[in-house]
Amino acid sequence: MVKEYRRRLAEKNLETKLNSSGCVMVSGPKFCGKSTMCERFAKSVTPLNTTDAIELALADPRSALLGARPHMIDEWQKAPEIWNEIKSDLDDDYEFGKYIITGSTTPANPAQIQHSGAGRIARMTLKPFTLYESGESTGSVSLSALFESGGEKFVPTYSSENATGLTDIAFLVCRGGWPIALKAKKKYALEVTKNYFDGLFVVENESDEFAAFLKNKNIELLKTILRSFARSISTQAKKAGMINDILASGVRDSLDEDTFSSYEKVLKDLFIIYDLPAWNLNLRTTVAVRTAPTHHFVDTSIAAAALGISPADLMNDMKSFGLFFEDFAVRDLSVYAESIGGTLKHYRDSSGQEVDAIIELESGCYCAVEIKIASEANVKEGISSLNSFNNKLIGSGLKTPAFRMVLTSHGACYKAEDGIFVVPITCLRD
């Protein structure tokens, strides 16, 4: 039986790195499809998925490197000395595309890695499926095409032609882009995601990739801190405020910042949460640019599951839905940005001027994106904010965006009179 496979935008990045470095490390959350994608590029595989395999790799890490090349080592961090062996092997006999290593965590003890791998080991991160990859976006609007032509070939779409509604978006937010959830029938998909979340913090045996991180941790505290991040999704909430939020809930009598930070690091090392960095344009004005990162989840469905939020709950609380939708859109935008050689950041200054997402290419060319649940008022607000940002740049004599976009949940896809594109997320691609 042929295994069903959905193409990933990250394949292009992986191919480039294999042809320009000796080893590629592909990291990402558990069950996002790393192994499945990388196996398509490998000619041999060493999977560290059993106690025996791990013990052998720990005792003789060089044995894990044996096989036709590109040789893949799955969940390499279970035997961290493999990193040093790869570095040493490439020093002795450098070849492009010699190894692929995958991991669902960072090494539990980074001190075991003696070398950075710079110049030998290239890094990339795989996230769950975007809507374009899962076939739930038409891809009629291409970010790369907008950068290249400024929208000369942009084709508007009436709302009647876009069958996806807001209830569908609420479902997609809660389901997430997990490969196993995509395989399930729609009526069971949310339960599949819930099961995935419930299993995140369960260590069944010592070969589990999370074992080293979780065996000395208070799992209930970890879940409590995760829920705090979920309540702070798409915001720049400070640690002190999040700790107060936890203490006010009554689930803890005390919690110091060092403990909070140590558990936050675990959640980041397991590729569950991450911070979207700030974009600093260095405006030549009296306005100070804020550099605080925005809190995001690798997939919004984890935040929804952590808080027990259903699609119906999102529909009944549009303010929260807006924050969850922003996180959902950032997931897709981050993948699309990387696919076209760009980076994703956010912007905020002391005057309150914000831009939800800035995609910047290596050339320095960039675009500005506001993320909104579709409504007449929200779209107008997004357009007004982008115009204000643009005027501030012009007033400072600085480079303006290649294009501006309001990324919406559903509805029509069109170009507003002031040149701003209004695009539903189900029309977007890299």
58 and 162 housed in the same domain: no
Residue 341 covered by a domain: yes
DSSP track, 312-349 = HHHHT-HHHHHHHHHHHHHHHHHHHHHHTTEEEEEEEB
Sequence-distant (≥ 6) Cβ neighbours of residue 300 within 8 angstroms: 173, 174, 176, 233, 324, 327, 328, 331
Residues 425 and 371: their CA atoms lie apart, in Å, by: 9
284 and 424 housed in the same domain: yes
146 and 286 housed in the same domain: yes
Sequence-distant (≥ 6) Cβ neighbours of residue 360 within 8 angstroms: 279, 342, 343, 345, 366
Residues 144 and 130: their CA atoms lie apart, in Å, by: 16
Residues 363 and 419: their CA atoms lie apart, in Å, by: 22
Q: CA triplet 169, 172, 176: central angle to 5 degrees?
A: 150
pLDDT in tens, the chain (430 residues): 346 789 999 999 999 999 999 999 999 998 999 999 999 999 999 999 888 999 999 999 999 999 999 999 999 998 999 999 999 999 999 999 999 999 988 765 555 555 556 668 999 999 999 999 999 999 999 999 999 988 888 989 988 888 899 999 999 999 999 999 999 999 999 999 999 999 888 776 665 556 666 777 888 999 999 999 999 999 999 999 999 989 988 888 899 999 999 999 999 999 999 999 999 876 555 555 667 899 999 999 999 999 999 999 999 999 999 999 999 999 999 999 999 999 999 999 888 899 999 999 999 999 999 999 999 999 999 999 999 999 999 988 889 999 999 999 999 999 998 899 999 999 999 9
In the chain, how many domains are there?
2
Residues in the chain: 430
173 and 92 housed in the same domain: no
pLDDT of residue 109: 57
pLDDT of residue 158: 87
Question: Which helix (H) or strand (E) segment is 26 a member of?
Answer: strand 23-27
State the CB neighbour count (10 A cutoff) for residue 251. Answer: 14
Residues 136 and 410: their CA atoms lie apart, in Å, by: 12
Residues 191 and 262: their CA atoms lie apart, in Å, by: 30
22 and 161 housed in the same domain: no
Query: Do 103 and 212 meet the contact criterion of CB atoms below 8 Å apart?
Result: no
Residue 299 covered by a domain: no
pLDDT of residue 2: 45
Q: Which two tokens stand for residue 320?
A: 């929260």
pLDDT of residue 396: 84
Domain boundary among 95, 125, 155: 125
pTM, two decimals, is: 0.94
Q: Which two tokens stand for residue 87?
A: 């570095």
81 and 159 housed in the same domain: no
Residue 300 covered by a domain: no
State the CB neighbour count (10 A cutoff) for residue 27. Answer: 20
State the CB neighbour count (10 A cutoff) for residue 359. Answer: 27
Give the residue carrying structure tokens 């979207």: 276
Domain that holds residue 332: 141-186+279-292+321-429
Enter the DSSP assignment of 55. H
pLDDT of residue 115: 55
Residue 343 covered by a domain: yes
φ and ψ of 336, to 5 deg: -65, -40
Q: CA triplet 288, 293, 296: central angle to 5 degrees?
A: 150
CATH code of residue 340:
3.40.1350
CATH code of residue 15:
3.40.50.300
167 and 43 housed in the same domain: no
pLDDT of residue 356: 97
Residue 72 covered by a domain: yes
330 and 411 housed in the same domain: yes
What value does the CA radius of gyration of the chain take, rounded to a whole number of Å?
A: 22
162 and 288 housed in the same domain: yes
Residue 71 covered by a domain: yes
Residues 159 and 343: their CA atoms lie apart, in Å, by: 30
State the CB neighbour count (10 A cutoff) for residue 362. Answer: 9
